[in-house]
Amino acid sequence: MAEPKPRGGPLALPDWAWRRTDVRDALEGRDIGGLLQAVQRYTGASQSRIAVAVGLLQGRVSEIVRGSRTVTALELFERIADGLEMPDDARMLLGLAPVHPAGLDHLGASGRAEILAVFPSQSRARPEIEQRAGEATEIDVLAVRGLGLLGMNDSLLRTHVRRRAASVRVLLLDPDGEAAERRAAEIDEKPGSFSAGIRLSIELLHDLADEGAEVEAYTYDVLPTWRVIGLDSTLFVSAFGNSHEGHTSPMYKITGSPHGALHRGFRRFMDELRRTARRVV
């Protein structure tokens, strides 16, 4: 009699498990050890079964669960997502592209997807951002300090602003506002040094305007949530957390869709924030 084949293939979590706070926190923090612990907890699977599902050795899974090994390779994130049959919203929390992007249009296959790509962080999106910035005629930025985007000579967008071919509008956090104090406390910085970074960006934006660049800058006093780089009709969106900066979070590439809400919503939010903000450049 032939021996039974070992159980293999993907390991599916119950739908409710993907909505649990501990699972979503592990995904957002890219904490694969915490995620695999949750998989054991909510499926009862052994480490050997998880190893088969995600295509790793059992010893490697054990090291990840214990925290003695961390996962950083995108290929391995993808393999784990596939092995756990991760739904698209969970994949995007982990910083991966959705498997079925057309579904993000909310209208089925007849509409266009709004989210075209998901990057683990701004650094992974940088080549595409720089390419699009080099071709853009309008650049819109929503940030906190903006040092990494425009405030320094080697900032992501500064060279593209200096070439004077694009008009630039920038929203930065008001360095004298209550929201700046709250944000400084969130990331454990001194309020004075935190606000000084914003003022430095404003001064350097003044310098760009004096050089002939078409620059407008405004300050807003709302606790920051979204960080947006708008390059003509394409938005690159990430989020600020209570312990991390926007450039380290997953970044979503969003474009307009005939019936989608995301692109329109972010544009409306920025327009309204600008309307109520104070112009400083």
Question: Residue 155 above 70 pLDDT?
Answer: no
Token look-up 């996962």 returns 71
Question: Residue 269 above 60 pLDDT?
Answer: yes
Please spell the DSSP secondary structure of 43-74, one letter per residue: H---HHHHHHHHT--HHHHHHHHHTSS----H
Contact of 129 with 231, CB cutoff 8 Å:
yes
As a whole number of angstroms, the distance between CA 216 and CA 280 comes to: 8
Question: Beta-carbon neighbour count of residue 1 at 10 Å?
Answer: 3
> Which range among 14-18, 160-164, 233-237, 240-244 shows the weakest confidence by mean pLDDT?
160-164
pLDDT band for position 109 (cuts 50, 70, 90): very low
Residue 17 CB partners (closer than 8 Å, separation 6+): 23, 38, 42, 43
> Beta 214-220 vs 167-173: how paired, if at all?
parallel
- Residue 279 backbone phi and psi in degrees, to 5: -75, 130
- Once rounded to an integer, what is the mean pLDDT over residues 145-169? 68
Q: How is the chain split into domains, by residue range? A: 15-96, 104-279
Token look-up 């962080």 returns 121
Question: Residue 268 above 80 pLDDT?
Answer: yes
3-state secondary structure of 159: helix
When the candidates are 1.10.10.10, 1.20.1260.10, 1.10.260.40, 1.10.3470.10, the CATH number that belongs to 15-96 is 1.10.260.40
Strand order through the sheet with 214-220: 115-119, 251-254, 234-239, 226-231, 138-142, 167-173, 214-220, 278-279
As a whole number of angstroms, the distance between CA 113 and CA 136 comes to: 22
pLDDT band for position 111 (cuts 50, 70, 90): very low
% of the chain beyond a pLDDT of 90: 28
CATH topology of domain 104-279: Endonuclease; Chain A (3.30.870)
- Once rounded to an integer, what is the mean pLDDT over residues 163-187? 86
Higher pLDDT, 140 or 208: 140
- Once rounded to an integer, what is the mean pLDDT over residues 34-53? 92
Of 40, 52, 42, the C-alpha closest to 18 is 42
As a whole number of angstroms, the distance between CA 230 and CA 86 comes to: 30
